[in-house]
Amino acid sequence: MSEKQKKDALQDENMTSVSELEKENEKPEGFHINLHLVLLAAIVLVIGFSVFRLYRWNLGTAPEEVPDGPTEDFDIEVLDNLIPLAPDKLEGYVDDGVTTILCLGDDPFSLELGENGLAQQIAKKTGATVYNGSFTGTTMAAQFASYNDGYILDAFSFSYVAKSLASGDFDLMKTAATYSYDENFAKTTQMLSELDLNTVDMICVMYDGSDYVNRRPCDDPNAPYAEITYTGALRAGVKAIQEAYPHIRIVVMSHTFCHSIDEEGNFQNGDRVDLGHGTLSHYLQKELDATMDVSVSFIDNFYGSVNEDNYLDYMTDYIHFNDAGRELLAQRFADCMFPNAE
């Protein structure tokens, strides 16, 4: 082979090597575009997963996915608010060593005056001396803004009774009692007029759902002490007693569940039917608010005692209690106010 032919062959070989090397280093067509698509897909997946997790979190966990968790029943928070009497309220007060409780209210106390009565059950469970100052068929709120002889029950509504106790003037109550067909009105009024409130340590106030059933206004934000409203009468009555007898600890026992009766005589669920001023639970919350305003204790019977699920065991009709119901209410009072009582 001539020298020229050798050079030509070597040049061809070198060119082939370079060509093959270029082919090896050549990047596939469109590679840069695919890389961007991969990165974009990864970002979309991350965002999508995060959105899904957030959506599931907002939905909550299904009951069957909660280990040992309830599937149907839910805990209800009882709204008890127990406030001790401020020490300064006892300055100058001499304790006689006997725990004395005065009960004020309506039918829960007044319809049974024997050993199965609510006041008697409280005495039994607490060991206290208990006086029953209740009046059947009355309400917390007064019917009229000023007393009307044509409606004597106002004289026995809570704020009127409280103001008579605070002032010691029972003339209105005694006169109104003479017009009542219930002889216990006169007897109870006389007992209250003779009771020395300096010996009373605690007043327990309880009205059933009568204010709701009788369509008494629940609250007036512009007149918080209006006695024709449920909470206004409560505030006014409590304030009157606190100013006259600051040593007395006042406890308000709330109403329980009850029904109202429509024009056809059918029961209406008190926690579902608004008779014009809110449902029973609305009255309950406003009553709690009022007790906080005047710094007195509150025992919730609506959620803590006789409720929509168990009322058939404790009531005789749409609103009144049987012996078991009164015993349950007395036990709630004792557990809250005398937790160490045997």
Q: What is the mean pLDDT of each run of 10 residues along the chain (342 residues)?
A: 52 50 48 60 67 51 42 70 94 93 98 97 98 98 96 98 98 98 98 98 98 98 97 98 98 98 95 97 98 98 97 97 98 96 68
Give the residue among 66, 127, 78, 80 at the shortest CA–CA distance from 99.
Answer: 127
> What does the pLDDT read at residue 118?
98
Residues in CB range of 301: below 8 A, 6 or more apart: 206, 253, 254, 255, 256, 329, 332
Does residue 313 sit in helix, strand or coil?
A: helix
Per-residue pLDDT of 196-239, as tens digits, reads: 999 999 999 999 999 999 999 999 999 999 999 999 999 999 99
CB 299 within 8 A of CB 252: yes
Judge whether 262 and 312 are in contact, CB under 8 Å. Answer: no
pTM of the model: 0.78
Residue 43: the pLDDT is 75
Three-state DSSP class for residue 81: strand
What tokens appear for 135 in the block?
């009046």
pLDDT tens figures, 255-297: 999 999 999 999 999 999 999 999 999 999 999 999 999 999 9
Q: Torsion angle, CA of 254/257/263/266, rounded to 10 degrees? A: -160
Q: What is the pLDDT of residue 195?
A: 98
Integer-rounded Cα radius of gyration of the chain: 38
- Cα–Cα distance measured from residue 62 to residue 172, given in angstroms and rounded to the nearest whole number: 62
* pLDDT computed for residue 69 by the predictor: 41
pLDDT of res. 46: 64
